[in-house]
Amino acid sequence: MRVIYFLIILLISLQTYSIYAQQNHPLAKLWGINDAEVPEWLDAENHLKKIDRILRPILAEDNLFSSFGGTFIDIFQNWLVVNTVDYSKVEELLALPEISPYNESLHFENVTDSIEQLKSSFRNITLLADSKGVRGALIYINMELNNIVIYFFETNINHTEFINAVEPFNPEIIYANTQSASQNIIRPRRRDVNSRDLVVNVFGGDGVYNEAGGGVMCSIGCWLKHQQHLRNDFYITTAGHCYDNGEIPDENYFYYTPWNSDSHVLPIGSIEFQSNGFYDFAIIRVENEDLNPQFVIRNDDADQYRELIIINGTINDTINDAIISSHYAHICKSGVITHLTCGYVLGFDGVFYGIEKNYIVFELIVTDLYGLLGDAGGSVFSFASPDNLLAVDVHGTVVTVGPGICAVQSLDTILDFMRDRIGIFQDLIVYVEGS
C-alpha cells in the first residue's frame, strides 16, 4: 500500500512539474527556462536595457569616451557589463546621480580597447574593405569580444590582400561553417491558399514570391500605412534584393505564399519603392483588396503564442523604449523558410559586402538568429512586455543570412529613409494594434 501511495504522489509531482516546466514561449527556449519564469526574466532584461539607455550617452562624453569600451547585457548574470579600459574612472561614473541608483546592476570588465579605439578601427577596416573590393563579408563591432568582427560568408573568394592589410588592427575573423547545426524546425501539415479564398489574413513572416529572375522567394516584414489617413493605401516590407532590377517592372509582381506551401497564385501587388544602394529594403503596394492587413507576426509551429501582436511602443513609457539598442538583448525573427527563431543582438551599424560588386548595405543590426535563403525580408522583433507575452516590437527586416549570423535592416532606417526622400511617404508608420 505504501508503494502505491508513493507512486501516486510521484505521478502527481511529475504532472505538476511538467505544467510548470513547459517551454512553449520562444524566450523560454532561448534562455533555457520555464514558461512561468519568462515574465520575471523579461522584466529583468527590460530593466537592464533601461539602464543601458541611460548609461551609453554618458560613456560617449569626452571625459569618458576613451576610458570605457561599451556595454552589453548578460541576462544570465542579471547585470549590464561595462567594458572598462581605465578603472580610475569607475568611481567617478558610479557617483553620478543618474547612475548611482543602478550601481548593483553594473559589472565592470577589464578590456584593452575603448569605444573610441573600436570605432576608429572599424572605420579603417571598412575603408580597406572598400578599396580591396571585399565581397561576401559582414563587418561589425562586437562588444563582448571587444573587437571588430569580419565574417566571411564565402570561403572560395580570395581575400588574402585584405586580410593582410587589416592585420595591424587584429580583428576577429570568422568563416562561415556550412556544417553548423540548424535549429529544430517543426513542419506541420501543408497549408495552401488559392485565388478563390475570399479574404486572407497576411502576417509578418509569411512568404512573398516574385516571378522575375526565374522566381525569388522572400518573406514579409510588416504592414505599413499612412498616419494621416489621407491615403488609404497599405504596404508590406520585404528585402530590397527580392526585387530584380534587371527585369521589366511589370514582371516584378509579388504573390503571397503561406508557410509550408508551394502556392504562388494569390496576387499581392507591384513594387512601390526599392532602395538602390546603401540600404536593402523594398516596399510593396498591396493592390489585392482580398488581403487583410494584420498587425500580427506568425508563429504557427507553436502550440501556444501562435500569433504575436505588434505594438511598437504603444504600451511602453515612450516610443524610444521600443527601439532595440542594447548588445546581447534578445531578438527574434519570423520567415517563410525557417519560421520563428530567436537569438541575441551581436552588434549595430554593421556593413555587409555582397557577392556582387558595389552591393554594400549599411546600418545593419547583426544577430546570431538562424535563417536560410527565403527568410530575407522576414519580421525581426523582440518581446515587449512581461505583462503580455504576445506583445512584440518589430525592429526591421532580414537582409542576409549565414551559419550563425543574420543581418537586419532596421525599421528606423527604412522609415527615416522613406520619410526624408519620398514625398508621399512622409507620414508612413507601422500598422500596429490600435492604429
- How far is Cα 26 from Cα 333, in angstroms, rounded to an integer? 11
Element (H, E) at 8: helix 2-20
Q: In a 3-state reduction of DSSP, which class is residue 269? A: strand
Question: How far is residue 251 from each of residues 78, 262, 270, 272, measured CA to CA in Å?
Answer: 52, 19, 9, 13
Say whether domain 200-430 belongs to CATH 2.40.10.10. Answer: yes
- How far is Cα 184 from Cα 181, in angstroms, rounded to an integer? 9
State the pLDDT at residue 44.
Answer: 98
At 368, the amino acid letter reads D
State the pLDDT at residue 419.
Answer: 84
Contacting residues for 315 by C-beta, under 8 A, at least 6 apart: 384, 385, 388, 391
Which residue's C-alpha cell is 525569388? Answer: 216
Average pLDDT for the chain: 87
Measured distance between the N- and C-terminal CA atoms of the chain, rounded to whole angstroms: 63
State the pLDDT at residue 145.
Answer: 97
State the pLDDT at residue 11.
Answer: 44
Q: What is the DSSP string of 114-176?
A: -HHHHHHHHHHHHHHHHHHT--SEEEEEETTTTEEEEEES-SSS--HHHHHHHGGG--EEEE-
pLDDT in 10s for each residue of the chain, 435 residues:
444 544 444 444 444 444 446 889 999 999 999 999 999 999 999 999 999 999 999 999 999 999 999 999 999 999 999 999 999 999 999 999 999 999 999 999 999 999 999 999 999 999 999 999 999 999 999 999 999 999 999 888 999 999 999 999 999 999 987 544 444 444 343 444 444 445 789 999 999 998 876 688 999 999 999 987 667 889 999 999 888 665 555 567 899 998 988 878 899 999 888 887 799 999 999 999 999 999 999 999 988 999 999 998 665 555 456 789 999 999 999 999 999 999 999 999 999 999 888 889 999 999 999 999 999 999 999 999 999 999 999 999 999 998 889 999 999 999 999 888 767 788 889 998 776
Using a 10 angstrom Cβ sphere, with 0-12 exposed, 13-18 middle and 19 or more buried, the burial of residue 386 is middle
- How far is Cα 245 from Cα 249, in angstroms, rounded to an integer? 8
Render pLDDT for 310-360 as a digit per residue (tens, 0 to 9): 998 665 555 456 789 999 999 999 999 999 999 999 999 999 999 888 889
Domain boundaries along the sequence of the chain: 2-31, 115-175, 200-430
Render pLDDT for 369-428 as a digit per residue (tens, 0 to 9): 999 999 999 999 999 999 999 999 999 999 999 888 999 999 999 999 988 876 778 888
